[in-house]
Amino acid sequence: MEEKNYYAVPLITTAVVTGFVAGVFASLMGYLVHYLNFTEMSPGIILAPWKGGWKDGWAGILLAALLYGLVSILVALLYYGTLRKRKSFWWGAFYGVILFLFVFLVLLPLFPGTKPLLKYDFNSILTGICTFILYGVFIGYSISYEYEEFIYLKQLKMKQ
């Protein structure tokens, strides 16, 4: 009987793809909520080191989304390395809150022209927290689900 490989994609690859997709999606969602005036925080802050008006157009949005996707790969690999065995989506939500605090209390002050976190209005802070929670849940649940599926299929294969 021919042996089937039920899990052809390595888990680390799945984590990388999940991170990239989460970063691009979250940055585009960030642009949307900024455009709709839910928040005064723009994802375009990642482009602060560069000069030019192009940052406010479609080229800036695409470049920022790609940069967030690349940075998000590292974030997903960190989750993969530390929390992939956690089954609850609450771990992803917790991870999102920790990321929000890290970004807005540690990283954001490094960018010129940004305000401290508590200087933003309540809607901006709440929208930011919610976006990061969704981002964390997406990464956490996706990676944990794939890990559990891998373990299940591995045990199923051992029983055969």
pLDDT tens, residue by residue, 80-119 = 999 999 888 899 999 999 999 999 999 888 877 788 889 9
Mean pLDDT of the chain: 90
The answer to whether 30 and 43 have CB atoms below 8 angstroms apart is yes
How much is the pLDDT for 156? 85
How much is the pLDDT for 6? 57
pTM exceeding the 0.85 threshold for the entire prediction? yes
Answer whether residue 15 shows pLDDT above 80. Answer: yes
Residues contacting residue 111 through CB under 8 Å, at least 6 positions apart: 45, 48
156 vs 136, higher pLDDT: 136
Helix segments in 8-160, DSSP class H? 11-35, 58-83, 89-102, 122-159
Percent over 70 (pLDDT), the chain = 95
Residue 104 DSSP code: I
The answer to whether 13 and 142 have CB atoms below 8 angstroms apart is no
Answer whether residue 19 shows pLDDT above 60. Answer: yes
How much is the pLDDT for 154? 85
Answer whether residue 1 shows pLDDT above 50. Answer: no
Distance CA 117, CA 74 (A): 24
